[in-house]
Amino acid sequence: MAVRLNAINFQSPRCHSFALPAIASLRSPKASTLHSGSKDVETVKKTFSPPRRIHVQVTHSMAPQKIEIFKAMEDWAENSILVHLKPIEKCWQPQDFLPDPASEEFHDQVKELRERTKEIPDDYFVVLVGDMITEEALPTYQTWINSFDGVRDETGASTTSWANWTRAWTAEENRHGDLLNKYLYLSGRVNMNQIEKSIQYLIGLGMDLRTENNPYLGFIYTSFRERAAFISLGNTAKLVREHGDFKLAQICSTIAADEKRHETAYTKIVEKLFEIDPDGTVLAFADMMKKKISMPAHLMYDGHDENLFDHFSAVAQRLGVYTAKDYADILEHLVKRWKVEKLTGLSAEGQKARDYVCGLPLKIRRLEKRAQTWSKQAARIPFSWIYDREVHHGIGQIDNKKEIVF
Ligand SMILES: [Fe+2]
Ligand SMILES: [Fe+2]
């Protein structure tokens, strides 16, 4: 069922497109308009949030009988998925990496931290802040996972394995934003007020991933996204280490290790779905890739820059933290991991979906070169997160070549 929700549809659901991550949704802010049935509602909405564009919202696209598949997977999830959670007593906590406020050495430790971050260039801070804001919008992600039919936590204290996983996953994730937030705060290099405002905006705006309450789509998305987080944090760790902050590098690697564990769990769920329902799963995989994997913070806003996410992701691409190549690598990895090429006994539609997904990494790699050319045409842009200091981003003059459609 397609429902139009107080927003314009900026891309026909039939027009499948993929945009490279760094240029994911370059757009004119003027094109964003909120539509509402009532003028009063429109005024109120504009008071609380900036104009945003979201797709026509499709809900509950999974056939209701498939809910049984997830019920039948309960025991399997208990034994195969919950094992990827770490017991809390063995988990690291943000405080393990931060100056101890109860210690007499607190001020010296803060001084050391500030010395270490001194050599890190501004554009790295833009990427770190963007990552931190992404982590801090965790309420959105838990709400979103609990929108999936058949696996949601129906009560807030449900005892199903799916609900136990989601709550514990959220609890693990919660440490990521906390740690990055405190570290960046203590560094003194960033405008915390602007950052906090951006977090509030982002949680208020939500995200538009087009997963349709459908756990097939949702778990394919989380598999991709956890791997993307693992890769980008790993790259960030390397870069900050080169600039002398070993502690921050350690923090990024430690968070990356959590993301890797989460990736393992989510890819196992999808692997199981391929086993039980190969046709339905390959169709969902193709559907998700045609829609493209938007990053969860794609609606980010700081009260000033209506293209903030594009600018942030362009900086990430230019620094090599998360690039079009990574996008293709992740897809290729998942195709191999789920043995998509070897799927047999598919319907005609399923075969088409399989061939599409298997051919996609190559197509993306061909387009990568264009992205690289664009990223050399660097322009400078101010970021409120770093007191409006300007950094190079990589998107140059490409306004009319925004999205690559295939
Ligand atoms: Fe995370
Ligand atoms: Fe994660």
Give the model's pLDDT for residue 5. Answer: 33
Q: Is residue 388 part of a domain?
A: yes
Distance CA 163, CA 144 (A): 13
**Average pLDDT value for residue range 201-225:** 97
What lies within 8 Å, CB to CB, of 88 at 6+ separation is 171
Ligand nearest to the CA of 134: 1
Give the model's pLDDT for residue 20. Answer: 37
Residue 209 phi, psi dihedral angles, 5° rounding? -100, -10
Q: Tell me which H or E stretch contains 32.
A: none
Task: Tell me the longest C-alpha to C-alpha distance in the chain.
Answer: 69
Rounded to 10 deg, the angle between the 246-276 and 161-187 helix axes is 160
pLDDT band of 400, cuts 50, 70, 90: very low
Distance CA 136, CA 140 (A): 9
If one counts every other C-beta atom within 10 angstroms of the C-beta of residue 118, the result is 13
CA 129 to ligand 1 center in whole angstroms: 13
Q: Mark the residues whose beta carbon lies below 5 A from ion ligand 1.
A: 135, 173, 176
Residue 404 predicted with pLDDT over 50: no
Distance CA 384, CA 387 (A): 5
CA 173 to ligand 1 center in whole angstroms: 5
CA 27 to ligand 2 center in whole angstroms: 29
CA 227 to ligand 2 center in whole angstroms: 8
Domain that holds residue 101: 93-392
Give the model's pLDDT for residue 60. Answer: 98
Q: Is 193 exposed, middle or buried (0-12, 13-18, 19+ CB in 10 A)?
A: exposed
Distance CA 313, CA 324 (A): 11
Cα dihedral sign for 113, 114, 120, 126? positive
Cα dihedral sign for 41, 47, 52, 57? negative
Is 176 within 8 Å of 135 (Cβ atoms)?
A: yes
Q: Mark the residues whose beta carbon lies below 5 A from ion ligand 2.
A: 226, 259, 262
Distance CA 194, CA 188 (A): 13
Give the model's pLDDT for residue 307. Answer: 93
Give the model's pLDDT for residue 345. Answer: 93
Residue scoring higher pLDDT (340 or 21): 340
Per the prediction, the chain carries an average pLDDT of: 87
Q: Is residue 333 part of a domain?
A: yes
- Numbered residues of the known binding site for Fe cation: 135, 173, 176, 226, 259, 262
CA 228 to ligand 1 center in whole angstroms: 10
Ligand nearest to the CA of 263: 2
Give the model's pLDDT for residue 392. Answer: 86
Residue 239 predicted with pLDDT over 50: yes
**Average pLDDT value for residue range 62-87:** 98
Distance CA 80, CA 82 (A): 6
Alpha helices, H only, 188-214: 192-205
Q: Is 109 exposed, middle or buried (0-12, 13-18, 19+ CB in 10 A)?
A: middle
Q: Is residue 52 part of a domain?
A: no
pLDDT digits (tens, 9 = 90+) for 308-327: 999 999 999 999 999 989 99
Give how far Cα 33 sits from Cα of 30, 52, 95, 304, 400, Å. Answer: 8, 7, 43, 16, 20
Give the model's pLDDT for residue 193. Answer: 98
CATH number of the domain where residue 260 is located: 1.10.620.20
CA 145 to ligand 2 center in whole angstroms: 13
**Average pLDDT value for residue range 26-48:** 41
- Numbered residues of the known binding site: 135, 173, 176, 226, 259, 262
Is 191 within 8 Å of 156 (Cβ atoms)?
A: no
Q: Is residue 34 part of a domain?
A: no
Ligand nearest to the CA of 225: 2
Q: What's the length of the chain?
A: 406
If one counts every other C-beta atom within 10 angstroms of the C-beta of residue 178, the result is 18
Ligand nearest to the CA of 145: 2
* Terminal alpha carbon distance of the chain: 25
pLDDT digits (tens, 9 = 90+) for 347-380: 999 999 999 999 999 999 988 777 666 555 568 9
Q: Is residue 58 part of a domain?
A: no
pLDDT digits (tens, 9 = 90+) for 259-297: 999 999 999 999 999 999 999 999 999 999 999 999 999
Q: Is residue 59 part of a domain?
A: no
Distance CA 191, CA 385 (A): 5
pLDDT band of 13, cuts 50, 70, 90: very low
Give how far Cα 346 sits from Cα of 181, 282, 331, 333, 350, Å. Answer: 47, 9, 21, 21, 5
Give the model's pLDDT for residue 52. Answer: 76
- Looking up tokens 């996983």 gives 165
Residues of the chain above pLDDT 90, percent: 79
Q: Is 361 exposed, middle or buried (0-12, 13-18, 19+ CB in 10 A)?
A: buried
CA 200 to ligand 1 center in whole angstroms: 18
If one counts every other C-beta atom within 10 angstroms of the C-beta of residue 22, the result is 26
Q: Is residue 77 part of a domain?
A: no
Give the model's pLDDT for residue 378. Answer: 62
Structure tokens at 294: 């938007």
Q: Is residue 325 part of a domain?
A: yes
Count of domains forming the chain: 1
Give how far Cα 322 sits from Cα of 31, 107, 235, 319, Å. Answer: 27, 35, 8, 8
Q: Tell me which H or E stretch contains 278.
A: helix 278-291
Give the model's pLDDT for residue 393. Answer: 75
Residue scoring higher pLDDT (306 or 43): 306
Give the model's pLDDT for residue 18. Answer: 31
